[in-house]
Structures are given as C-alpha cells and as structure tokens.
Structure 1
C-alpha cells in the first residue's frame, strides 16, 4: 500500500515559534473567513491510534486558510499533487 499526504493548494507556510523559551513548530497563514493572519501549533501525531475515549472527549476545531497571494501568471503552490497525478495517470503519459 502506498500512502501520500497532499493538498491541491498550499495555503500555509511552516515555521518555528518561541513559546516561553521553547521552540515549537507552527503553521502560518491567513484565515479564510476574514483574512486575518494566524499562527497555529498543528499538534502531534500519536505513536499509536488513541482509544475511543480520546475521540469522544476531543473538541477538534480546524481553521480554514486562504490561499497565498500569488501573481496571476504563476501556478498555485501545492503539496505533492504532482506525485499523486504521477501515481494515478503517469503510465498513460509515457
């Protein structure tokens, strides 16, 4: 089985922020609803799949981000969409 993380439009940039002297990873972008700049900690992927109690008590709330401002003659940045297309139809293009 092949797995692939992808996004049709890359709307955020990654970075590092300082929280009380500790450097942590963060995502930066502009909120889709009002265009306000937003920096968020994306969270961590657990080593094992959490049990049902974890999912029952979590209040997940994900922000939607606006695509980055680009020149009209430039392609929108994406995350591995080229790899997904190669996997899906690459043999047809050879």
Structure 2
C-alpha cells in the first residue's frame, strides 16, 4: 500500500511544472547581498562529525570474543596461588 502511494506521489511530482514554483529574484536585494558579502567575510567554523559516546558503547561481538580469549590465556599463564588455611578464631576467656 505504501509503495503504491509513494509511486503515485513520485509520478505527480515529476509531471508537475516547476516553473511557476520558482520566484524570480529582485535586482535590488541581490545588489545589497553582494555588497554585504564583499564588505566583511566571516570564516565558517569547521565542525567535527559526532561519533557517539565510545566509552559507554558495548563492544562488538568480535572484540568481546577476543577479550575473552585474552583473559583465558592470562588465567592459564598465571601461576596458581596456593590456598592459605587459617585456624578458626578463638574467643577470649
């Protein structure tokens, strides 16, 4: 249903005559804008693209898998620690 409506809308837009829709620019306003542009040009700032909060994003499947393999390797390589046994606590008499 949506594809049919979209295709009809596209057909209507392609058959519409765009000539009357565009307004002709006025000569006086064009002269004032050219004068203002030449008078003082302000440089536009360069904005960096936002890449999201990487700290709080969950790593992908392969990175988690690699981290798990690395942790297992570290556990196997580390020497085993012995168990320390302690006598049970005694009460003061």
TM-score, length of structure 2 as denominator length = 0.21
Q: Whose relative contact order is higher, 1 or 2, with alpha carbons under 8 Å and at least 6 apart?
A: 1
Structure with more of its chain in helix, by fraction: 2
TM-score, length of structure 1 as denominator length = 0.21
Structure with more of its chain in strand, by fraction: 1
